[in-house]
Amino acid sequence: MKGAMEKVREIWKEGRRVGKEDPRRIVHSFKVGLALALVSSFYYYQPLYDNFGVNAMWAVMTVVVVFEFSVGATLGKGINRAVATLVAGGLGVGAHHLASLSGPTVEPILLAIFVFAQAALSTFVRFFPRVKARYDYGILIFILTFSLISVSGFREDEILDLAHKRLSTVIMGGVSCVLISIFICPVWAGQDLHSLLASNFDTLSRFLQEFGDEYFEETDDGDVKEVEKRRRNLEKYKCVLNSKSNEEALANFAKWEPRHGQFRFRHPWKQYLAVAALLRQCAYRMDALNSYINSDFQIPMDIKKKLEEPLRKMSSESGKSMKEASISLKKMRKSSSSDIHVLNSQSACKDLSTLLKSGILNDVEPLQMIALTTTVSLLIDIVNLTEKVSQSVHELASAARFKNKKKSTVSSKKSDSVSTVRAMPTKSQDDHVVTILCDDDLSNTVDQSCGESSVDSCHHVAIKIDDDDDSVHEKHEDGEIHVHTSCVLCGQTNASDVLDCGNQKIINNL
């Protein structure tokens, strides 16, 4: 008795855990129960039973096998089953009619040949990757229905009536599933894929931003529990490594879904998979980095400290870039803020290269040098992948028609207007051309007229810097140059409306 009670408690705890993980599962269970109760009326209600007979059970079977968790999965299975049943039923009736013309002796032989041919051919087609991804269930139902119609028709005189009733009950069961799935607490696979991708960005961003603290800070023996907790949080990136099958399934289901919310029909779900593939590549590098953090062979802290500043900046700026990409996805708005952090991480790579060329690691032992250079190489790979991820997110934003950031008109006061931007320098004869990447703060200072000719809120501005007393150059200790100019010559983006002949402050990361 006690053993049974313990099992009941375990089942109850497991049920509560599953329900808390995703409350939509509880709602889905009630939706399936409602659909089954509705289609069961075909069997319980006498007038309906008189019309369909025992074929009413096909509606119940359809609900059981078609109703899935998401709208896309349910709609995909329902369409596959309905089309496969219609085509197989028609071909089955045709095969039965053709075989019946040959006489009672040859008829069973021809039916067996037809069943063999369609089953063999259809089973082979199921191995095609594209067919297996979207139409595997439909082909399976095609094989089943054709065989049942052909075999049943051999002993059943009213073959057309049989096919009609089965097709009708299957369609009714499928329609019930689709309507309940769409109109009662719908679960959209496209929304789940979108949220999963944004969550993966957050997970990888958290690892990169915390990597510096984990790699460069020494831990006392008394903080073991705190270290273990921090490492468990750090290792959450591992869920990204195993997300491929889930992402592909969600993308496949999302293709079946109608337009909902901000997700259009024929939304670029393939681009989601492209971004997800790049994130998995980053996660593999992070897995290798994490192995060096937990390795028994540790590099002395004094050697690590020599490269601490550029390595910390590389990891933190890459993490910030992914965080900005996550925000852009969640809000479904175009943003170039992540590009700023990508440029900063690439600048840190150059600083690291300069530091290594200076011979700062000449006195390091070979084994320690191998471990350290491997860590450096992995971080450089992550920086390069972060740039690709940022570009891929921009392509996704354009293909999915994300909204541009809201922009407000600039104040007309020239004396008090000071714009702070992050610039990327480009040489152009006597003028200095910079690409201004608008941040959240900067985008609020850009007039709507400027955005029409710009691309993704990036503005190309030609700034002529004279060596007279009207311009002042300041170089700060952080390596950033602050240039105050009295006049700004604007290029094709009409940025003169933004930077209008006042004191402008341009921060140029070198």
In the 3-class helix/strand/coil scheme, how is 282-305 assigned residue by residue? HHHHHHHHHHHHCCCCCCCHHHHH
Q: How many domains does the chain have?
A: 2
Q: 180 and 206 share a domain?
A: no
Q: 83 and 176 share a domain?
A: yes
Q: Is residue 438 assigned to a domain?
A: no
Q: 250 and 345 share a domain?
A: yes
What's the pTM? 0.75
Domain housing 122: 1-186
* Residue 346: both structure tokens together: 């690439």
CB neighbour class for 422 (10 Å; exposed up to 12, middle 13-18, buried from 19): buried
Q: Is residue 7 assigned to a domain?
A: yes
Q: 150 and 227 share a domain?
A: no
Q: What is the CATH number of the domain that holds 337?
A: 1.20.58.220
Domain end marker among 371, 402, 433: 402
Q: Is residue 345 assigned to a domain?
A: yes
Q: 59 and 156 share a domain?
A: yes
- Whether 85 and 170 have beta carbons less than 8 Å apart is answered as yes
Q: 125 and 216 share a domain?
A: no
**Whole-angstrom Cα distance, residue 254 to residue 186?**
13
Residue found by looking up tokens 């990447």 in the block: 437
Q: 137 and 199 share a domain?
A: no
Domain end marker among 186, 201, 223: 186
| Cβ-count burial 176-196 (b if 16+ within 10 Å, e if not) | bbbebbbeeebbbbbbbbbeb
Q: 166 and 254 share a domain?
A: no
Residue found by looking up tokens 């690590």 in the block: 304
**What length is written for the chain?**
510
CA distances from 376 to 9, 298, 416 (A): 51, 15, 45
Per-residue model confidence as pLDDT tens for the chain (510 residues)? 677 888 888 888 888 899 899 999 999 999 999 999 998 887 777 777 777 777 788 888 999 999 999 999 999 999 999 999 899 988 988 888 888 888 888 888 888 999 999 999 999 999 999 899 889 999 999 999 898 888 776 555 567 777 788 888 888 899 999 999 999 999 999 999 999 999 999 999 999 998 888 888 765 555 666 667 677 777 888 899 989 999 999 999 999 999 988 898 889 999 999 999 999 999 999 999 988 887 778 888 888 888 989 999 999 999 999 999 999 999 999 888 889 999 999 999 999 999 888 888 888 888 888 888 999 999 999 999 999 999 999 999 999 989 886 654 443 333 343 344 444 444 434 444 444 444 444 344 334 333 333 334 444 443 434 443 333 343 343 444 344 333 333 333 333 333 333 333 333 333
| Cβ-count burial 329-354 (b if 16+ within 10 Å, e if not) | beeeebbbbbbbbbbbbbbbbebbee
Residue found by looking up tokens 């996550």 in the block: 326
Q: Residue 453: what pLDDT?
A: 37
Q: Residue 294: what pLDDT?
A: 79
